[in-house]
Chains A and B, each alone.
Chain A
Amino acid sequence: MMSLFALVDCNAFFVSCERVFQPHLEGKPVIVLSSNDGCAISRSNEAKALGIKMGVPLFKIKDIVKKHKVHVFSSNFSLYGDMSSRVMETLKTLSPSLEIYSIDEAFLDLSFLSHHELFDHGCHMKALVKQWTGIPVSVGIGPTKTLAKVANHLAKKNPSGCCVLVDPQQIEEILKTFPLQEVWGIGSQWSQKLSQFGMNTASDLVQADPGWIRKTFNIVLARTALELKGVSCLSLEEAYPSKKTMISSRSFGTPVTSFDMLREAVSFHASALAHRLRKEKSKASLISVSIRTSPFDKNGIIYSNSEVMVLPFASQDTSLLIKAATSGLEKIFREGLSYKKAGVKVLNLSPESQSLPTLFTDESFDDSPKRKALLKTIDRLNHFYGKGSLVFASEGFRKTWVPRAVCKSPSYTQRWDQLTTVG
Chain B
Amino acid sequence: MVQSKNGFQKLKVGRKPNPIPTKAIRLPYPLVDKLLKFKEKHGFEELYRKDIGEIFRGKSSSPFSIPLFQSRIQAGFPSPGDDFKDGSLDLNEHLISHKAATFFVRVTGDSMTGVGVFPGDLLIVDRSLTPTSGKVVIAVLNGEMTLKRLEKSKEGFLLCAENKSYGDIKVGEEDDFSIWGVVTNVIHSLL
| Chain A residues close to B by CB (< 8 Å) | 23-26, 85-87, 89-90, 131-134, 383, 412-414, 416, 419-423
Closest 8 CB pairs of A and B: A423-B109, A24-B143, A89-B100, A132-B101, A86-B100, A23-B140, A419-B106, A421-B108
| B123 sits at the interface (CB 8 A) | yes
**A401 vs B146: C-alpha distance when bound (angstroms):** 40
Q: Using A131-B128, A133-B127 as known contacts, say yes or no to A423 and B146 having CB atoms under 8 A apart.
A: yes
Chain B residues 84-126 with CB under 8 Å of chain A are: 98-101, 103-109, 111, 122-123
Whole-angstrom distance between the alpha carbons of A423 and B145 in the complex?
A: 8
Cβ-neighbour of B106 out of A132, A414, A420 (below 8 A): A420
Q: Chain B contacts of A89 at CB under 8 A? A: 99-100
A24 to B144, CA, bound (A): 6
A87 CA to B101 CA in the complex, in Å?
A: 9
Can you name 30 A-B residue pairings with CB atoms under 8 Å? A23-B140, A23-B145, A26-B143, A85-B100, A86-B100, A89-B99, A131-B101, A131-B128, A132-B100, A132-B127, A133-B100, A133-B127, A134-B180, A383-B65, A416-B104, A419-B105, A419-B106, A420-B103, A420-B105, A420-B145, A421-B105, A421-B106, A421-B108, A422-B107, A422-B108, A422-B123, A422-B138, A422-B147, A423-B109, A423-B111
Per the bound structure, the CA–CA distance linking A231 and B145 in Å amounts to 49
Complex-state Cα separation, A89 to B97, whole angstroms: 13
What separation, in Å, do the CA atoms of A134 and B180 have in the docked complex? 8
Chain A residues contacting B123 (CB-CB under 8 Å) are 422
Q: A370–B143 Cα gap in the complex (Å)?
A: 53
A23 to B138, CA, bound (A): 12
Q: How far is the CA of A85 from the CA of B101 in the complex (A)?
A: 11
B100 touches A423 (CB 8 A): no
| CA distance in complex: A413, B128 (Å) | 17
Taking the closest CB of chain B, its distance from the CB of A76, in whole angstroms, is 16
Given contacts A23-B140, A419-B122, A422-B145, 17 further A-B contacts (CB under 8 A): A23-B145, A23-B178, A86-B100, A86-B101, A89-B99, A89-B100, A90-B100, A132-B98, A132-B127, A132-B128, A133-B127, A412-B103, A419-B104, A419-B106, A420-B103, A421-B108, A422-B106
Q: In the bound complex, what is the Cα–Cα distance between A23 and B176 (angstroms)?
A: 11
Residues of A within 8 Å of B106, CB to CB, are 419-422
User: How far in angstroms is the closest Cβ of chain A from B141?
Assistant: 9
B-side interface residues toward A, CB under 8 Å? Answer: 65, 98-101, 103-109, 111, 122-123, 127-128, 138, 140, 143-147, 176, 178, 180
State whether B101 touches A421 (Cβ < 8 A): no
The distance in angstroms between the C-alpha atoms of A383 and B101, with both chains bound, is 23
User: How many Å from the CB of B184 to the closest CB on chain A?
Assistant: 14
A383 to B109 Cα, complex, angstroms? 30
Shortest CB distance B39–A (Å): 12
- Min distance, Cβ A415 to any Cβ of chain B, angstroms: 9
On whether the beta carbons of A413 and B103 are closer than 8 Å, the reply is yes
CB pair B109 A422 closer than 8 Å: yes
Chain B positions within 8 Å of A383 at CB level = 65
B5 to chain A, nearest CB (A): 42
Contact A134 B127 (CB under 8 A): yes
Q: Give the interface centre of B100, B107, B108, B111 by most chain A CB atoms within 10 Å.
A: B100
- Closest chain A CB from B144 CB (angstroms): 7
Chain B residues, Cβ within 8 Å of A421: 105-108
